[in-house]
Chains A and B, each alone.
Chain A
Amino acid sequence: MYEAVAFYLFSVLTIGLFLITVMSKNVLYAMTSLAAGMILISGFFFILGADFLGVVQLIVYVGAIMALYSFAMMFFDATRDIKEKNTNPALVFLLGGLSALVLVLMFAAPIHSEAIQALYPMHEGVGNAQDVGIVLFTKYLVPFELAAVMLLVAMIAGIILAGKKMDQSLTEDMSADDEILIQKDEK
């Protein structure tokens, strides 16, 4: 009962928030609703019994990725509304709706599910974190180490790309600054 209530609440809220993310013209609104939607998605993981995944989602997505986005937004002009030239919005909605229909049909269709056997079954009476740890450090050790190297490469790449010419101001010769100056003059 509670699972059903939580599921429907989370799904309606997540879909609404992600619609705001996709439709909003303001970067700040889009980012905030994306962060809120990610928190609610970790709620899905907790319902599904994937506790460790839920915590990782909260720490990595909401904690790290959204913080990274908000730091990056300081480089861009976030207060101005984004003007986007949509050549054919009806076609986009048609394509999105069609792909939604195809995906729903694919998932709702009777799949070949009887043949699926659990490769690494979960154990009764063992916490999710222990189970995940044992499988991650035995069966998935090589992908885990590769992911670690990949994150290191990404970190170095991010530092080098973003840190280039860090001593120069980004907005020095931008028109946004001129607007602020004009506003000051008017006052």
Chain B
Amino acid sequence: MIGLSHYLIVSALIFSIGLMGVLRRRNLLMLFFATEVMLNAVNIAFAAISHYYNDLTGQMFAFFIIAIAASEVAVGLGLLIVLYKKYGSLDLDDLASMKG
């Protein structure tokens, strides 16, 4: 039988995949993908806890996380387009202009 800890372990694994992506990626678009992975992992954990404790609060938080992710993507992609227009690249190493 599938219990709460199964879902939480899967969610933790997906979260660490996303964290690994955030640490590893140098391209800004790929960094955004990795953050999406992390947000989805948290949503799984919220939905699982909501189901196993018979409480709707977890689902509510998941909804607000989805709303925040949508607005984050809208603003972030706008910024990425501006950056690409300015520098012609999305690599973080190229964008490091304040290196001492």
Contacts and interface: CB of A to CB of B under 8 A. Distances in A.
Interface of A: 3-4, 7, 11, 14-15, 18-19, 21-22, 27, 30-31, 34, 37-38, 41, 44-45, 48-50, 52-53, 56-57, 60-61, 64-65, 68-69, 72-73, 75-76, 82, 84-86, 89, 92-93, 95-97, 99-100, 103-104, 106-108, 116, 118-122, 131-132, 135-136, 139-140, 143, 147, 150-151, 153-155, 157-162, 164-165, 170, 174
A131 to B, nearest CB: 6
**Considering residues B9, B17, B25, B91, which has the most beta carbons from chain A within 10 angstroms of its beta carbon?**
B17
A76 B87 CA distance: 12
Greatest chain A CB density within 10 A among B71, B78, B88 is at B78
A92 B20 contact: yes
Q: What is the interface residue range for chain B against chain A?
A: 35 or more
Given A4-B1, A34-B37, A103 B67 contact: no
Contact of B24 (A3, A22, A107): A22
Nearest to A95: B23
Contact of A104 (B12, B21, B32): B12
Contacts of B99: none
Please classify the interface of chain B as helix (H, G, I), strand (E, B), loop, or mixed, using the class held by over half of its residues.
helix
Query: Which residue of A11, A44, A48, A57 has the most chain B CB atoms within 10 A of its CB atom?
Result: A48
Contact of B29 (A27, A50, A154, A170): A27
